[in-house]
Chains A and B, each alone.
Chain A
Amino acid sequence: MKNQKCKGMRDLLASDMLRFRRIEDTFRRHCLSWGYQEVRTPTLEYLHLFTATGTLTPGRLGKVYSFLDWDGWSGERVVLRPDGTIPVARLYIDNLSGEKVARLFYVTNIFSFEETGKEDRERWQCGAEFFGGIQLAADAEIILMAREIITSLGLERFQLQLSHAGLVKALIKEFKLSPGDEAKLTSRILEGDWQALKLLAESPEVSETSRLLFSLFSLKGKSSSFLHNLRALSSKASQDFKSSLDEFINIATLLDNLNCSYQIDITAMSGFEYYTGICFQFTVNGQKIAGGGRYDKLVPLMNGKDIPACGFALYVDTVARLLPLEQQNEVKVLVKGKNSLLETIGACFILAESLRKAGYQVELDFTDKEESGVRWVVLVSGEGAFPFLLRDHEEKVQRGFASMAEILKALPRK
């Protein structure tokens, strides 16, 4: 049969959903315990929400699913949500801007066109956004919460990498490019292409900036000491650069004090122009499983009030691929009717209900389906002295019972 699924779209089967729910449940549990509240934004948003802020690069905007709605005669295009944070910022402005502090989290799908159709065009993420927090503390809160969730999921050998958007922007400024070239370079970097900046850093012209850049690219710091060293070398750099570096030093020192290990990697950010301060990502074997950062200008750019904000997202699809399938500890029972007589079906339903109430997972069956995969099977004949036959497929034994109460006693305790 011909595949009828849309290109780039994915069915989540039962085993995928078990992983998905585990990630989502873990994420929700931790977010709630940190005082975050769950929200959900609509799938459709106006396109201008994403163009007006100038926050998505032309490359990303070129991949949005946009179209005219049924009442789109005025030419107003809508999009399938291409990003998680911007809609939540809109939700905050529309509904919660009276609140000084808002801690919000969400589980959502985002849509972005991918040329080959072999990669997912719909992806899922679990995100948390913190509006109005005190900068340093809020940055640490977001990073530590993300780390706690990843640890709780049982992902081993994950790494945390830190970068700073303000630092990168200040570095680009140091090259004193024309506004057009600067915009192009910024777009390339935001789309994850660091080559252009690397080439500038490697240019033969030895300057303060290129030396700093070289250090940033070639060395991966492991503590705030690295940033202190860099600070000592950057006496001639711009004020923006220095203040960004100081900010970076503060957050790194705080994480050192809290025993949170990390690596300083200037390239550990991609895609989002709205970051203004610290940026971070978590990786497992080089695969990005979460990312986030500070975006103080986003809400004012969207005509909201001037409020600092930061957040992160967990990339569910990547995490799911790395997650082992957990053994389920539910006790499953298959209740099988020996025939499909009214009495037998009725007796099966009554038995199943008692078992469910007692905490078992019960599946009913009136076919000649094989009993594989289930340890406990109750065969209901509804006749004779023992209308119930309990089979234990693991021990390969079976026994007749006269009543439901006896069956409940014979099954392992929940």
Chain B
Amino acid sequence: MRNSGTHRIIRLALPKGRFLTPTATLLAKAGLGFHTYGEKARQYRLWSDSFPNLFAKVLQEKDIPIQVGVGNYDLGICGSDWVEEFTVRYRAGTLVKVCELGYGEGNLYVVAASSEGELLDLDELCASHKDCRIVTEYPNLAETFAMNIRMKKFRIFPIWGAAEVYPPESAELAILWSRNEANLESEGLVCLKRLLPVTMFLIANRESLQSKDLSPILNAIASHLPQIGREKNQNTEKLFSSPPERVSRSYWNSRTVRLALPDGHQQEPTSQFLRSAGLDVQGYSAKALNRRPLSDVEWLGIKVIRPQDMPLQVANGNFDLAITGEDWLLDQSYRFPSMPVRELFPLGFGMVRVVAAVSQDMPASSIEQFKSLIDKGQLVSVRVASEYINIADKYLRDNHISPYKLIPTWGASEAFLPEDADMLIDNTQTGETLKQHQLKIIDILFQSTACLIANENSLQLPEKKEKIEYLCDKLYAAVRQKVH
């Protein structure tokens, strides 16, 4: 790596995910020389071919305002929704919005389900003393929203994604990003309030903007904005492969047993597993994902949500059963030990190891050696990046690592090392990705597989008990079949 420690290096944080392609187009037009930044690239650390001092890192969009705010990056590109989510909580003003980039339009909406006659009215909701559950990936904005409209009683559920599938049964309101209201409608939702317009922004660390010469990069980007502006609205990427079928609250309420299935990496193996168990679930495939797939078991209601969100959703009784990872169950159990959720049995797929990893350059090959680096003063204030904040927190406490700072991430955590974190706590299947990013494992915390979890109270309810047992028998038979 080139001398990234010197102050003349300009550090830029680039987004993964929803706006990677238009961002790559902008950078190419601005001639910033990041040819490997694209949809398929697995490279997170990029040096510009055109500007010798320009270094970029590819991060989850949500992480970018935090990273720029704390000064790990001089500049960043991300949606204004994530900027607001950061600044509404941390108002100290370390972050500056430099300019709008003219793409990625959308809005942050407060939505409810439109499938019901009893459509919610915000004023009514505020005046009422009824509990209002809000699911969102933007908990800070949600809290400010609820307080500003003086909502009397509310609970906010920060989730990893798929907010659109929660109302009306699992939440009264969702606060989510969408391109426009027509998109919301196609998902069976109705907009109660447009919270803020969202576009992509170039953001800067205030201190960097005040004291560092960023002008070559700012010029290059700014001079290409008009062209980009004209191209707006041409982006026709589809968010959902098929319009989800509307399912009313009464449909959901009539399902005796409710099951949550995972999206993302776990979807394909879960889908295969369900087939092997003889359970036909329509609309649960990578090609055509319906967030409310239908099952041939008539009393079974199914929703597809993020595996990370499942333990809490099951604890709250929104689901009786869920297929998630043991890692996420453990993470949430450390945070809320009395949560009424338990693992019924492992499903034998999606095996990962949760490990502690450090840069290959670090002179430590075990957690003991890592600790001795702290004792010797070679490492001060350890920064640890992890998606599993509760597992990481416990691991660091148990190993008497002090002081440490935990950097919560929303994926792609390996990109944080070595510049922005000293240790990573993450899952790995083969260890290949870690190696690719010049990282090495210094400790294995535990092994985790996909598992079936259940709400403990549901297991006691007479109307659910037999049906849950029937389903469990079916799934367990498939597990045994696989083992044999």
Please list the residues of chain A having a beta carbon within 8 angstroms of any beta carbon in chain B. Answer: 48, 51-52, 54, 58, 61-62, 68, 70-77, 115, 183
Contact = CB atoms under 8 A, between A and B. Distances in A.
A115 B92 contact: yes
A390 B373 CA distance: 57
Interface of B: 91-92, 129, 133, 144, 146-148, 150-157, 312, 315-316, 332, 335-339
B229 to A, nearest CB: 34
Contacts of B147: 51, 58, 61-62
Contacts of B133: 75
A336 to B, nearest CB: 41
Contacts of A183: 150
Nearest to A50: B147
B316 A76 contact: no
B152 A73 contact: no
A313 to B, nearest CB: 23
A76 B337 CA distance: 15
A71 B315 CA distance: 11
| Residue from B91, B150, B152, B157 whose CB has the most chain A CB atoms within 10 Å | B150
B92 to A, nearest CB: 7
Rank and list the top 4 A-B pairs by shortest CB-CB distance, nearest first: A75-B155, A73-B336, A61-B147, A73-B339
Nearest to B403: A4
A51 B156 contact: no
A70 B337 CA distance: 7
B155 A51 contact: no
Contacts of B338: 70-71, 73
A51 B150 contact: yes
Contact of B91 (A51, A68, A115): A115
Contact of B156 (A70, A71, A75): A75
A74 B315 contact: yes
Contacts of B156: 75, 77
B169 to A, nearest CB: 16
22 contacts: A48-B154, A51-B150, A51-B151, A51-B152, A52-B152, A54-B152, A58-B144, A58-B147, A58-B148, A68-B335, A68-B336, A70-B335, A70-B338, A71-B339, A73-B312, A73-B316, A73-B336, A74-B155, A74-B315, A74-B316, A75-B316, A77-B156
A68 B158 CA distance: 12
A73 B337 CA distance: 9
Contacts of A71: 336-339
B288 to A, nearest CB: 32
Contacts of B316: 73-75
Contacts of A62: 144, 147
A126 B250 CA distance: 53
Nearest to A66: B143
Contacts of B146: 51
Given A51-B146, A51-B153, A76-B155, 16 more contacts: A48-B152, A48-B153, A51-B152, A52-B153, A54-B152, A58-B147, A58-B148, A61-B147, A62-B147, A68-B335, A71-B336, A71-B339, A72-B336, A73-B335, A75-B157, A115-B91
B150 A52 contact: no
Contact of B129 (A52, A68, A73): A52
A61 B146 CA distance: 10
Nearest to A55: B150
Contacts of A76: 155
B411 to A, nearest CB: 22
A70 B152 CA distance: 23
A340 B114 CA distance: 84
Contacts of B151: 51
Contacts of B332: 73
Nearest to B316: A74
Contact of B150 (A58, A73, A74, A115): A58
Contacts of B337: 70-71
Contact of A54 (B144, B148, B150, B336): B150
Contacts of B152: 48, 51-52, 54
Contacts of A73: 312, 315-316, 332, 335-336, 338-339
A378 B358 CA distance: 63
Contacts of A115: 91-92
A77 B150 CA distance: 16
Contacts of A48: 152-154
A72 B315 CA distance: 11
A72 B148 CA distance: 23
